[in-house]
Each structure stands twice: as structure tokens, then as C-alpha cells.
Amino acid sequence: MTMEPKRTDAASGKSPATLYAEREQRIFDAIALKTPDRLPTILFSHFWVGHYSGMTCRQTMYDYAGLKAAMIKAVRDLEPDSYYPGQNMMAFGPTMDILDYRQLEWPGSRGLADDVPFQYLDREYMTAKEYDEYLLDPTGFMLHRYLPRVANGFKAMELLPQYPSVLHTRILMSVQAYANPAVREMFQTLIRAGEEMQKMLASADEMVVELNEMGFPLGNHATSHAPFDVASDYLRGSKGAMLDMFRHKDKLAAILERITQIIPANAIATADRNKGKYIFFPLHWGLDGFMSPVQFKTYYWPPLRQVMMTMIEQGYIPQVLWEGDCTSRLEVIKDLPPGKAVYMFERTDMKKAKQILGDTVCIRGNVPVSVLITGSVQDTKDAVKKLFNDCGDGGGFILDGGVGIPDEAKHENVIAMFETAKELTY
């Protein structure tokens, strides 16, 4: 079934600049817990945007011009109040090829079909014995140990000087490492990867400028993490981090404290580069059922809150995606200054979220993925209206899918979702 988007905003006769201001205000109002003129929307999608333009997952990861055109088509058709740029979530294919990247499997790489999304490989990237090394010198650990495990292109980092211990004339002697053939080759590879990434980012920047001119504000400027997820996903592996709660609890606590200090810097620098304030946090291990309430209050929430507060105090706006069902966490995660962040929920009970968080945090979500993928247009409209009734009261709510728009969502359902929101006025 095909359904033509109505583009009612474009048909209103308002200028792009006016529409831009209206859209931006709608999102500002929702975040500030004020009442906007109508239900605000965000287009947050991974591969659906490519699918909507007939691209496979692989094409979306490799074809910068194609992805840019697909993003622009989706945004113009759906007329969201804000959008996430697809590039910084997907267009990594060529750079990963150059680096021989090992943390993801992606379409067309080692065995995955062309129309399957990339998937993270949950492994132990730092052993339990390496806690002390990380704690002593995180940068040295990242350079000499971690990066070579993440991509073969970084392998020769192992050969670089141990800088904290290299001083005075030893600095001069240490530069011999840069003439090592493996190190030379590594830097050549990194230069090629860097040039490739600059091409990708240039394409993304062009898209943002074009969409700005068409009246669409960018809704995401950087990505950050919960410290426990860093320890779990990116260092110890999920199994390692869970076992460390028993086997190495002091070291786990120490590394979380260190990560909490370290982690805001890159997101803040990236947001500044992109001239915006919205920092996205995809959360993985904090949901109900994964860890106990006590473990959540010990290992997960305090470091995450600290990272968010570091950003909030500098004027940035965390957009936190609470994956899964986090209904039992609501009372704990309410502890933030009002109107300074957005909580996105996948399966959390939105009525309860509104009741508990309504005076603290703007909530966002969560048209069920099952409706968008298997339901009808009417099912989708009903789901949007139900959400508006359940948690739209007084504002403080932004419409989105559960984890954005699922890759396999029916096109007509996504169109219906955004069009229904435009009809829901306050």
C-alpha cells in the first residue's frame, strides 16, 4: 500500500524561516515542560530512512549522497519538528573498511546480508586484569591496548612510546618509533580513514544546512553514554561487567568514577562542533529485569546522573533513550532539575512516566514497534492518539517511536504517525 504524504506545513503558505521558528519553539516548549501549540515530533530513524527511498542497509552505510537525499526526502515528507542526522548513526561503511574495524558486523561485511542492520559485538575488550592499567592511565590504555583491539588499522599503536614515562632527551630517542614501517603504514591508513570521514561529515553538514533552509531544525548534536554502559559494552563486555559486580566490585566502582570524569568531553566537543546542545544517550543495561534496584542505584544511576549534570550545568540538553521497560526506575531517575532533559522510553508505561516525571522531565516515545511494523494505518493513528491522551496533558511530551522508527516500519504507518500528530493541538 502506498500513501502520499500530505505535507500540510508546506501547504500552509508559511515561509521556511517561520516554520523553522515554530518547530524549534515546539521542541523548546516540550523540554521546558510548557504547552506547545501542537504535539511535537522528532524523526529518529536508523535504516528506515534508507528503506523509504529504496536503499538497502548496505547502501545506507556506504552511499553518502544517497543517504543525504533519502534523509531530505523523509524529512520533507514527514515534516517533523526535529530530526536526527542518519549519517552519524550509519554512514561508517567506507571508514570501517579502511580501518578493518572489528567491533561491528555490518551488511556486506563478514557474512551479514546486504539488508541487515549493523550489530555490535559484545565482547571483552578489556580484561579484568587490566583494570589497574586503565585506572592508572586511561589514555595510555586506550592507545596501546584498546584501539588495536577495536580495529586492525590501529594495531601499530602498540609500538608508540609510553609517553607518561618518556622525558627530556628520552623524548628525542623515542621518536624512532615513528620510523617503524608498521607505524608509518598505520598513519597512512589513519590519514585515509580521516579523509574518508571528513567526506562523510561534509555530506552530513551540507544536509543540515539544506534542511535548515527548508525550515527543519537539527535535533541531535552529539552522543554520549552511561558510565556503566561504557564499562559493560565497550570495556569488559556485558558478562564481564555483570560478574565484576561480585568479583571486582571495588575496581568496577573505581572505573565508573573515572569514566564519569572522562566521558562528557567528547560529547561536548562534538556538540560544539555541530553548534547545538542536544546530546543523545542510548542506554543499554539499566532497564528493569537486567540489574536489581540496588545494583541500579549503586552502579548505574549515580554515574549517569553525574555525567548528565555536568552537561546540564553547561547548558547542554541530554536526550536519554531508556531502552526496554524502565517503569520500576521512574522514581529514581526523576532526580534531575526540571525542564533540562528529555527521557525517551521504549516499552516503559507512558501513563506512569507522565504521572511520575511530568513536572521534571519531558518524555518522548513510544509508538510500539509492533504497530509500526505489523499494524494498519488506523492502528497507528489510534496508538498516537492514545499516547497523546495518556501523556500529552499540558505538554512535556514529544512523539516518537519506541526506539525511533524501526527499520522495517510500513511507510504508510510512519506517514500516518506524523500526520496524526499535526492534527493533535493543545
Partner 1 sequence: MADQKSKLIQLISNMEEEPAVSLAKEMLDSGYNPLTLLAHCREAMEIVGKRYEKGEYFLPELMLAGEMLSAIGNMAKPLINTGEGPGQGKTAGTVLMGTVHGDLHDIGKNIVTFMLDINGFSVVDIGIDVPVDTFIDNIKEHNPQVIALSGFLTLAFDSMKETVEAIEAAGLRQGRKIMIGGGQVDESIRLHTGADAFGLNAMDAVNLCKGWLPA
What is the binding site for partner 1 (CB under 8 A)? 105, 111-113, 116-117, 119, 121-122, 238-239, 242-243, 245-247, 289-292, 295, 323-325, 346-347, 368-371, 373-375, 402-403, 406-408
Rounded to an integer, what is the distance from CA 238 to the centroid of its chain? 19
Q: What is the sign of the dihedral through the CA atoms of 238, 244, 245 and 250?
A: negative
Nearer to partner 1, 111 or 315 (CB): 111
Instruction: Report in angstroms how near the CB of residue 306 gets to partner 1 at its nearest.
Output: 22
Three-state DSSP at 64 gives: helix
Instruction: Report in angstroms how near the CB of residue 345 gets to partner 1 at its nearest.
Output: 13
| Residue recorded with cell 503558505 | 13
CB of 36 closer than 8 Å to CB of 395 = yes
Nearer to partner 1, 311 or 372 (CB): 372
Q: Which residues pair with 282 in a beta bridge?
A: 321
Nearer to partner 1, 105 or 133 (CB): 105
CB of 156 closer than 8 Å to CB of 182 = yes
Q: What is the CA radius of gyration of the chain?
A: 22
In whole angstroms, what is the distance from residue 338 CA to residue 280 CA? 18
Residue of 203, 208, 219, 215 lying closest to 82 (CA atoms): 219
Instruction: Report in angstroms how near the CB of residue 293 gets to partner 1 at its nearest.
Output: 9
Amino acid at 310: T
Instruction: Report in angstroms how near the CB of residue 148 gets to partner 1 at its nearest.
Output: 23
Nearer to partner 1, 247 or 273 (CB): 247
Instruction: Report in angstroms how near the CB of residue 322 gets to partner 1 at its nearest.
Output: 13
Nearer to partner 1, 15 or 374 (CB): 374
Nearer to partner 1, 102 or 340 (CB): 102
Instruction: Report in angstroms how near the CB of residue 376 gets to partner 1 at its nearest.
Output: 11
Three-state DSSP at 400 gives: strand
